[in-house]
Amino acid sequence: MTAPEGRGIAGYEHDTTFRILHVSTGNVCRSPITERLTRHALGQRLGDGLGRGLIVESAGTWGHEGAPMETNAELVLADFGADHSGFVGRELLDEHVIRADLVLTATRDHRAQVISMGHSAGLRTFTLKEFTRLVRAIDPTTLPDPRDGVVERARALVRAAAALRGWLLAPSAEADEVNDPYGAPITVFRSIGDEIQEALDPVVTALTGFPTRD
C-alpha cells in the first residue's frame, strides 16, 4: 500500500524534512516527555539551526486533545533541562501517521494501533526501545555522513532498522515497553524519564552522528 500524499520511507525522498512522531495513550505523560527530550537532545548535539529539517511531534491513541502535559511530566523535563512550555495534547490522526517518517511508540499495543491505520506505516513504526535495540546493531559508518545532511542520514537509519527487525529479537516482550506513569507519584515519573532518556540517547546519536555534548 502506498502512503497517500505522505512520506513513508519510500516517499518524498527529495523533501527537506524528517518528521519523528512519538505516540503513547493520552499524550500527556510518556509521549510529551519523549518528544521534548528528543528536541532537547537534538539541540545539544546540533545546536541552533543545524537541526533544521528534523521535526519532532507527539500524539496519543486516546489523546486528550488540547490538554497540557501532566505536572509530573513537566517536572521530569525540568530535571533534564528540557523545555515543556507550549505543549498541547493531540489525538492521533491519520494525517500524523501519513506525514511521519519515523513513529516511535511507548508500547507494542501503540505500535499495532499505528500500523493498523495503514498508510504504509509498518516499516517506519517501532516501539522506542525496539528502535534503540535495532539502532545499536547498525554500523554508523554505513550511514550517510551527517555533514551532508541529517535528513538523509535519518532516512537511511530507519531503512536499516526496518531491515534488522526480523533478525534481532527482544529478550522478552516487556523489554520493548515503556510503562504508563499516569496518576503515579513523581518518583515513578522520574524513573520513567530516566528510562526514556536512556533509550533516546543512542537513537539521537545515530540520527545526528554526534554524541552528547556536555
pLDDT in tens, 152-165: 999 999 999 999 98
For cell 518528521, what's the residue? 19
On the question of pLDDT at 191 being above 90, the answer is yes
Give me the half-sphere count of Cα atoms (radius 13 Å) on the Cβ side of residue 17: 10
User: Residue 170's pLDDT is what?
Assistant: 75
Reference 199, options 130, 109, 153, 140; nearest CA is 130
Other C-beta atoms lying within 10 Å of the C-beta of residue 192: 23
| Mean pLDDT for the chain overall | 90
**Cα 30 vs. chain centroid, distance in angstroms?**
11
Least-confidence region, from 51-55, 126-130, 195-199, 210-214: 210-214
Closest CA to 131 of 110, 99, 104: 104
